[in-house]
Chain A
Amino acid sequence: MADRFGPGDPVRTRTLDPAGHTRLPRYARGAVGEVVESAGRHPLADDRARGRSTPPQAVYHVRFAAAELFGTGDHSVTVELWEDYLEAAAGRDPVQDGSDHER
């Protein structure tokens, strides 16, 4: 299966809060960010933690504006996220590239 997203794609993280282990931190739920790059394919940690056999799926580095996550701050935060955590988002305030101090 091909990767669903590529660099530059706007994505929104899911708001589902699963019972048990997940690699989507609470502070990054329901937030809009931008895919930076692919980070390979790996079995979903949520499934492995529950003893379920699961095929590898795409993992991405996704960059968020700090203000999107915390309501304040002019830096960015990059999180490694599985494809299951993401849905396509309409382009919104583009995340600043490179320098974390210009907006």
Chain B
Amino acid sequence: MSRINDVGGMVGFPAIVEETDEPGFHADWEAHVFAMNSALIRRGVYNLDEFRDAVERMPPAAYLEASYYEKWFAAITTLLAEKGVATPEELTGG
């Protein structure tokens, strides 16, 4: 069934505001998330479609509240736990 990501054609969302000279990342942690995801895919821990699926499996309320790279981080956390690479506790424990 359709998930919270599949909202094309729905009304009620705010307008998309384009920033002038928008930087690739708005904070260093976003660049780290981007690099980590690329490395995990290249290492074959999961593939791009599993990653997209993990983003789409976020709880709908959390999905709507999360920023773009917060969604990425949530999906990475989900997949690392499911693939037995690291537990959520290990990831937050530092």
Contact = CB atoms under 8 A, between A and B. Distances in A.
A42 B56 CA distance: 21
Interface stretch (B31-39, B46-54, B59-67): B46-54
Interface stretch (B1-9, B21-29, B86-94): B1-9
B49 A26 contact: no
Interface residues of A, number: 16
B2 A17 contact: yes
Interface in A20-43: 20-21, 25-28
B70 to A, nearest CB: 19
A21 B53 contact: yes
B9 A49 contact: no
A27 B2 CA distance: 10
Contact of B50 (A19, A27, A51): A51
B2 A49 contact: no
A48 B8 contact: no
19 contacts: A17-B1, A17-B2, A19-B1, A20-B53, A21-B52, A25-B6, A26-B6, A26-B8, A26-B9, A27-B8, A28-B8, A45-B49, A46-B49, A48-B48, A48-B49, A48-B50, A49-B49, A51-B50, A70-B9
Closest 9 CB pairs of A and B: A27-B9, A21-B53, A49-B49, A48-B49, A49-B53, A45-B49, A27-B8, A26-B2, A26-B6
